[in-house]
Amino acid sequence: MPWRLERMLRRLRAALVLLAGLLLLPGLAAAEQDYRKVLETSQAAIGREVGDFAFTDSKGREVRLSDFRGRPLLVSFIYTGCFEACPVATQFLMEAVKEARRSLGDDRFQVLSIGFNQPFDNPVAMAAFARQNRIDDPRWLFLTPRAGEVDALVQRFGFVYERTAAGFDHVTQVSIVDPDGVVYRQVYGDQFDLPMLIQPLKELLSGQASKSLTMENVWEKVKLYCTVYDPNAGRYKFNYGIFVEIFAGLTTLGAIVWVVWREFRRPRGV
C-alpha cells in the first residue's frame, strides 16, 4: 500500500474516532449526571428511619420490618426477571455474608432481599430466585412487599430504579440498617471489598456491646476490635497480637492504679 494512502487511512480512522467521541460526549455527560443524582438519592437515605412495612416471605408468612429491630439488617432490592445483574450481585453478597457470619457470628445480623417488581416478584418467584442462586441461610429472607407500598418503601431506602425495554435499570446497593431501624451505610456494586460491608457491621455490634457494661459485652467488644481484615488471605481473622497488647495495657494500668492507691493509703508522718 502506498505510504500516502496509508497515511490518509490513518487520518480517516483518527477522524472517525474523534467524531464518535464528540457524538457520544453529550450522552456520556448525561449518564454521569444521572448517576450523580442516583448516588445523591441513595446517600440521602443515610440517617433515615426505614419505617415499618409489611411483606410476605417466600413461604407465605407475613413479616414486618419492625420484626427485625434489635440487630443489624442488610437489605438488597432485586427483581426475579433479572438474568444477570441481580443474580451476580446476590451470589457475591452470599459469599460476603458467609464471611461476615464466620467473623462476627451466625446470628448477629439478618439479611433481606426484597422484590420490587410487583406483582411479578411474588412469594413463589422469590423462592425460585433464592433456589436458583443457592441461598440456603435461615437468616436470609426473600420478601414480597405490598404492591401499593413499593414506591414508599424504596424511597425510605434511597433505592432508585427505572423501567426499560429490557427490564429495569437500577442501582445495585446493599443498605446496612442499624438495630433501631435507621439506614447506617450504603454499599454499592455487584462486587465490593469485604470491609465495606463487614466493618460497618462491626461498628454497629460494638456500639450495642457498649450500651450495657457486663463482662460478656466487654469481651464481645474486645473480640470485635481484635477481628481484623487480612488482605493477603482475603478474609477476617482474630488478631491475637492486638488482644495481647490490650491485656498488657490493662495490666499496666491496673498496676499503676494499685501503686497510686497504696501510696495514697500509706500513713503520713506528722
Contact (CB, 8 A) for 194 and 202: no
Q: pLDDT tens across 169-191, in order?
A: 998 999 999 999 999 999 999 99
- Whether the model clears a pTM of 0.75, i.e. scores above it, the answer is no
* pLDDT of 25 higher than 50: no
Q: pLDDT tens across 210-256, in order?
A: 454 444 545 454 554 565 655 766 665 555 454 444 444 556 655 56
Nearest alpha carbon to residue 221 among 229, 211, 236 = 211
Q: What is the pLDDT of residue 24?
A: 43
What gap in Å lies between CA 208 and CA 188, rounded to an integer?
A: 25
Q: pLDDT tens across 101-135, in order?
A: 998 999 999 999 999 999 999 999 999 999 999 99
Contact (CB, 8 A) for 133 and 231: no
Cell, residue 88: 451476580
Question: By CB neighbour count within 10 A (0-12 exposed, 13-18 middle, 19+ buried), where does 58 fall?
Answer: buried
Residues 6 or more apart whose Cβ sits within 8 Å of residue 161: 77, 116, 154, 168, 169, 170, 171
